[in-house]
Structure 1
Amino acid sequence: MRLPNEDVAWLAAAPDHAGRPFPHDDGTIIRHSIADPELFAVLVRRHAPAIARYVTRRIGRDAAEDIVAETFLVAFRQRAGYTDEGRDCLPWLYGIATRLAHRHWRSETKQLRLLARTGVDPVTEPFADRVDAAVSASAVKPRLAEALACLPKAQRDALLLLVWADLSYEQISVATGVPLGTVQSRISRARQRMRKQLADIDPQGITEGFPR
């Protein structure tokens, strides 16, 4: 089951649920898919590209394909337990993907440290885009990668869900299954660590660059 590339493209081109109308609310789709499993393909078509981008940034393209596929397989199997009434199930999916990506924690850290040494892979581009324009991106990206590689797992998860997945603090709480106050603390500590390691580059630009 490999969803991010060929299968997702096929789903996007296929008629929605065999040509039948379907609800646009994620929560409603999930509830209806319990009795009508084929309806779950709507969520795959809708959200697989976003999950693929997030996971690929974290662990690389090769490993990401299997993680994205498994994310939707796990979500499908657990859909009866989905209780969020919100319209968007992405925080739930990001949480599953993040937990599955932990299998590749060493690979992710190795990838970040490789970037820190070479500066070749723009894995930290979303951060660099927020750094003051006066700072050279070629100098900043390797340092950002090194700083990310040094973060504890929980802090890195929270920070990357904020910056790469563009989730709110409340959504990160849903994704990670921890209280909102814990999310706030993890992100605050992650920022402090990052600023300390990057202080010699441009402390004000780095500090202002992180989303609030």
Structure 2
Amino acid sequence: MNVSDTELLIRSRTDPEAIGTLYDRHAPAVHSYLARRAGRHAAADLLSEVFVVAVQVRRRVRPHTSGSALPWLYGIAHNVVRTHLRSTTPRRTAADTDGVDWDAVDARVDAAAVAQELQMALSKLSDIERDLLLLVAWEQLTVTEAAAVLGITPTAARSRLHRARTHAAAALASITTGELT
């Protein structure tokens, strides 16, 4: 019988081995998330850290209404990446502050020129706008799930996602027309 993520999260409060089943289910998705934000080299170590934290905080977890443990795991991963980027890169340039693995962008986007334009457009977004846009577009989370990851309300997430899409589109338009702002 296939046990749901919600049941595993509840069971993990008294049985930490239930996190192992969640690891088996979700480690590839969380690893991809980490690799896109911190690079492939750091992703394996960060993945371990995500699940160590998951075991440590498992007694406080509240299952998400979607029934998936991914919003919770992405929330932990988001915090782990932020801490990692702060500790490994003391001073970054504007293009580097996003924590996105641009090799992954290149793999998804066919033309190198478009990847550069996308990188420039995303670098113009605020951290929360960029994270929200990437969680919804790349990680395929719902707006409600992405809101849970970022610790904001679904209403705020919808508003910020709309703003992020508008800002990204405007930035792309200004880049492609040569009117850099």
The two structures share one fold, judged by TM-score above 0.5: yes
Matched-pair contact (CA < 8 Å) for 2:124–2:171: no
Distance change (3 Å), C-alpha of 1:60 and 1:110: farther
Matched-pair contact (CA < 8 Å) for 1:34–1:79: yes
CA deviation profile, 1:62-92 (whole Å, cap 9, x unmatched)? 2222221111111111111122264311011
Match of 1:205 in 2: none
Match of 1:47 in 2: 26
Match of 1:142 in 2: 116
Tell me the distance in 1 between the aligned counterparts of 2:147 and 2:126.
17
Alignment pair present for 1:25 and 2:4: yes
Alignment pair present for 1:124 and 2:98: no
Distance change (3 Å), C-alpha of 1:197 and 1:127: farther
Structure with larger Rg: 1
Q: Quick check: 51-60 or 63-72, which moved more? A: 63-72
Root-mean-square deviation (CA), in Å? 2.6
Structure 2 stretches of 5 or more lacking a match? 97-101
Tell me the CA shift for residue 55 of structure 1: 1.0
Distance change (3 Å), C-alpha of 1:81 and 1:23: farther
Describe how 1:42-191 pairs up with structure 2 within 5 A.
Answer: 42-84=21-63, 86-103=66-83, 104=85, 113=95, 121-125=102-106, 128=109, 137-191=111-165
Structure 1 stretches of 5 or more lacking a match? 1-21, 115-120, 130-136, 203-212
Give the aligned residue type for 2:68.
D
Tell me the distance in 2 between the aligned counterparts of 1:126 and 1:167.
20
Distance change (3 Å), C-alpha of 1:111 and 1:67: farther
Tell me the distance in 1 between the aligned counterparts of 2:122 and 2:158.
17
Give the aligned residue type for 1:186.
R
Distance change (3 Å), C-alpha of 1:63 and 1:179: same
Tell me the CA shift for residue 54 of structure 1: 1.0
The alignment's TM-score, normalised by the length of structure 1, stands at 0.69
Distance change (3 Å), C-alpha of 1:188 and 1:86: closer
Q: How much identity, in percent, do the aligned residues show?
A: 33
Q: Secondary structure at the match of 1:24?
A: coil
Give the aligned residue type for 2:95.
R
